[in-house]
Chain A
Amino acid sequence: MAAARLHGPSIRRRFASRAGVLLAMAAAHPFSLLVTLVLLYAAWIVGERIVSWGIIHATFIADDRSGCNPGGACWAFVVNRLPQFLFGFYPEAERWRALAAVLAPPALMLLAVAPEFRGRRLVVAAGFSLYPLLAFALLAGGLPGLPAVSTERWGGLTLTMLVGMSAFVLSFPLAILLALARTSSLPALRLVAAGFIEFWRGLPLVAILFMSVIMLPLFLPPGVEAPRLSLALAGITFYSAAYLAEVVRGGLQGIGRGQYEAAGALGFGFWSMQGYVVLPQALRSVVPAIVNAAIALFKDTTYVMVVGLFDLLNIVVAGLSDANWIGLAAEGYVFVGVIYWTICFGMSRMSARFEHGAQGARPAGAAAGAGR
């Protein structure tokens, strides 16, 4: 009671004084006031139309196009086909496996930005690094209790998530090795790394995907047949590794000679020096660029459609030609856009968290401790 009596008027006074400041500022800057009002009006017009089309006049449940209100979005199309958009042609009874593969990365990302608890870093690191292997094994099956599902039937968001995450996770260690080789004191190693990077970075991803599917099988031992998905994934991984390697190299260049000398003088060998002293600093300094590359890569996975894989975008586009739902391109693309944006925004938040963490106490020390 006493607190309310004490705080009530003071809050009101603070609010009044804020409003007073705003009014005073508006009076002092008439042009800013005008611009603000114009922008607010524009935001209202755009926002009102979006809400009206996307929510107020939208239809969420219908059997086909004719059941939709023509004045609004026909989300019924997305709702009816949602399982296909999410899981492709994965058998209905086994969809929990695809769902697990889709939900694991966001769960790991949430865990990555979660408050600290014992073992959190280890779980996040192990989860991300084992994801490609575990997700592939889970989706492919072929074990007792997990019937085999051919990669031809994987698709939708499941495929997008699998390809995007796996390409990033697999390309990361490769990128570190390439960056180390490119900054090595051995000329032969430098040449090989530079050649690899320039080759993959200089080709358009579409060309890489075609080449991977057509040419990589020529390098496989006779009798071994790799699914198109794996071949495409290999191509994207090399492509991503080339870009990431240059990002990592940028980080390595920021590490002064003194750090190498100090570690060398303490008896560190090459790998322990890189692992405990150089890379923790180098990688942390390029976190924004790494996340930038990861976001670009995630969106680039849409190119797998050129080799006939049905990722999220491709499967929605394919759905647009359904005679029952003809002419719903806007709904399809908005749906795809919202999903991509949400995932990329999540990555960006995760990056921001890591950057803040860099200013906090000893994250790399804890990581080094966890690694041993």
Chain B
Amino acid sequence: MSEPLIAVRSLSKWYGAWCALDRISLHVKAGSCTVLCGPSGSGKSTLLRCLNGLEEWEEGEVSIGGTPVAHRARDLRRLRREVGMVFQSFNLFPHLDALTNVTLAPRVVGRRRRTEAEQAGMALLDRVGLAGHARKLPADLSGGQQQRVAIARALAMQPRALLFDEPTSALDPESIKEVLDVIVGLAKSGTTMVVVTHEMGFARHVADEVVFMDKGRIVEASDPDTFFDRTVSDRIRCFLGHRDRAYSN
């Protein structure tokens, strides 16, 4: 079996006495889509942020493509070019238009030529369906459009893997669909991705593996069919059941 693209070995993180991550181990194969889910405060976002070094941890090891994630600034920067991240609140650069948001990192960090970066950037905006909005500032775009620009921005560095931190939690239902469509398209084209989300339908549809976390631990990691239909965990059945039942009567 080939080496996983992202390997987490026995990762632990504490905030003071509070154990945010408790000996987490996780493997993400190249070209696969892993969905992290679980209740709020379960540590799924923290785990995701460890994967590109946005969070530090106390014990264990994370490696991307066989290279351990070190916290030395220079190594971290190299790693981050290989792992793209999409945030819940988009975090677009508000002073730059959509195209410049996408091309800034390739130009400044990747030292690509402006024309070349802009060509690639336009292709990416086209891929997320926003070629016509290239010169608009983030403030003039809807939430869904902003998040799609953020996805294009993350793709512009040609990362080996993409991390999504609740990419649709700040969006209205219509925008959720347009963003999920883009993510599904990426998953189908074989992009390696780890997605923290509460969208269970999406998880079932695209995930190769669903990881359920609670209180800093992985409760279950399995394929979607097993996870949604045949799980033996009461905790997960409870979680899924609450979601299904909410507001239904």
Residues of B within 8 A of A270 (CB): 73
A267 near B137: Cβ-Cβ < 8 Å? no
* Contact A265:B52 (CB < 8 A) given known A272-B109, A361-B137: yes
Q: For residue A51, give the distance in angstroms from its CB to the closest CB of chain B.
A: 47
Q: For residue B46, give the distance in angstroms from its CB to the closest CB of chain A.
A: 13
List A249-279 residues whose CB lies under 8 Å from chain B. Answer: 256, 258-259, 261-270, 272, 276-277
**Roughly how many angstroms separate A276 CA and B95 CA in the complex, as a whole number?**
10
Residues of B within 8 A of A361 (CB): 97, 135, 137
**Roughly how many angstroms separate A281 CA and B97 CA in the complex, as a whole number?**
13
In this assembly, does A344 line the interface, its C-beta being within 8 Å of a C-beta of chain B?
A: no
Residues of B within 8 A of A372 (CB): 107-108, 114
In this assembly, does B91 line the interface, its C-beta being within 8 Å of a C-beta of chain A?
A: yes
**Roughly how many angstroms separate A266 CA and B81 CA in the complex, as a whole number?**
6
In this assembly, does B7 line the interface, its C-beta being within 8 Å of a C-beta of chain A?
A: no
* Residue of A whose beta carbon sits closest to that of B105: A266
Stretch from B34-42, B82-90, B198-206, B228-236 at the A interface: B82-90
List B86-131 residues whose CB lies under 8 Å from chain A. Answer: 87, 89, 91-97, 100, 104-105, 107-110, 114
Q: For residue A252, give the distance in angstroms from its CB to the closest CB of chain B.
A: 14
In this assembly, does A284 line the interface, its C-beta being within 8 Å of a C-beta of chain B?
A: yes
B80 near A267: Cβ-Cβ < 8 Å? yes
B95 near A265: Cβ-Cβ < 8 Å? no
* Residue of A whose beta carbon sits closest to that of B52: A265
A277 near B93: Cβ-Cβ < 8 Å? yes
**Roughly how many angstroms separate A284 CA and B73 CA in the complex, as a whole number?**
28
In this assembly, does B157 line the interface, its C-beta being within 8 Å of a C-beta of chain A?
A: yes
In this assembly, does B78 line the interface, its C-beta being within 8 Å of a C-beta of chain A?
A: yes
List A351-372 residues whose CB lies under 8 Å from chain B. Answer: 361-362, 364-365, 368-369, 372
Q: How many residues of B contact A (CB 8 A)?
A: 33
* Contact A365:B100 (CB < 8 A) given known A265-B54, A266-B153: yes
Q: For residue B136, give the distance in angstroms from its CB to the closest CB of chain A.
A: 9
**Roughly how many angstroms separate A372 CA and B113 CA in the complex, as a whole number?**
10
Residues of B within 8 A of A368 (CB): 100, 104, 108
Q: For residue B52, give the distance in angstroms from its CB to the closest CB of chain A.
A: 6
**Roughly how many angstroms separate A268 CA and B106 CA in the complex, as a whole number?**
10
* Residue of A whose beta carbon sits closest to that of B135: A361
In this assembly, does A280 line the interface, its C-beta being within 8 Å of a C-beta of chain B?
A: yes
**Roughly how many angstroms separate A321 CA and B248 CA in the complex, as a whole number?**
92
A266 near B157: Cβ-Cβ < 8 Å? yes
* Contact A280:B91 (CB < 8 A) given known A264-B54, A267-B80, A361-B135: no
Q: For residue B182, give the distance in angstroms from its CB to the closest CB of chain A.
A: 18
**Roughly how many angstroms separate A261 CA and B80 CA in the complex, as a whole number?**
11
* Residue of A whose beta carbon sits closest to that of B100: A365
**Roughly how many angstroms separate A205 CA and B87 CA in the complex, as a whole number?**
48
Q: For residue B67, give the distance in angstroms from its CB to the closest CB of chain A.
A: 15
Q: For residue A216, give the distance in angstroms from its CB to the closest CB of chain B.
A: 37
Q: How many residues of A contact B (CB 8 A)?
A: 26
* Residue of B whose beta carbon sits closest to that of A277: B93
Interface class of chain A by DSSP? helix
* Residue of B whose beta carbon sits closest to that of A270: B73
List A219-241 residues whose CB lies under 8 Å from chain B. Answer: none
**A265: contacting residue among B85, B104, B114, CB under 8 A:** B85
**Roughly how many angstroms separate A259 CA and B96 CA in the complex, as a whole number?**
12
B108 near A276: Cβ-Cβ < 8 Å? yes
B94 near A281: Cβ-Cβ < 8 Å? yes
Residues of B within 8 A of A261 (CB): 54, 85, 87, 91
A362 near B80: Cβ-Cβ < 8 Å? no
* Contact A258:B91 (CB < 8 A) given known A266-B157, A268-B109: yes
Residues of B within 8 A of A266 (CB): 80-81, 84, 104-105, 109, 153-154, 157
* Contact A280:B54 (CB < 8 A) given known A264-B80, A362-B100, A372-B107: no
In this assembly, does B77 line the interface, its C-beta being within 8 Å of a C-beta of chain A?
A: yes
Q: For residue A244, give the distance in angstroms from its CB to the closest CB of chain B.
A: 21
Q: Name the residue in B77, B92, B153 with the highest tally of chain A Cβ atoms < 10 Å from its Cβ.
A: B77
Q: For residue B21, give the distance in angstroms from its CB to the closest CB of chain A.
A: 18
Other A-B contacts than A262-B93, A267-B78, 16 sampled, CB-CB below 8 A, are A259-B91, A261-B85, A261-B91, A265-B80, A266-B80, A266-B84, A266-B153, A266-B154, A267-B109, A269-B73, A269-B109, A276-B104, A277-B93, A362-B100, A368-B108, A372-B114
22 pairs, CB–CB < 8 Å, chain A vs chain B: A256-B91, A262-B87, A262-B91, A262-B150, A263-B93, A265-B54, A265-B84, A266-B84, A266-B109, A266-B157, A267-B105, A268-B105, A272-B108, A272-B109, A277-B93, A281-B95, A361-B97, A361-B135, A362-B135, A364-B96, A368-B108, A369-B114
Q: Which residues in B have some Cβ–Cβ distance to A below 8 Å? A: 52, 54, 73, 77-78, 80-81, 83-85, 87, 89, 91-97, 100, 104-105, 107-110, 114, 135, 137, 150, 153-154, 157
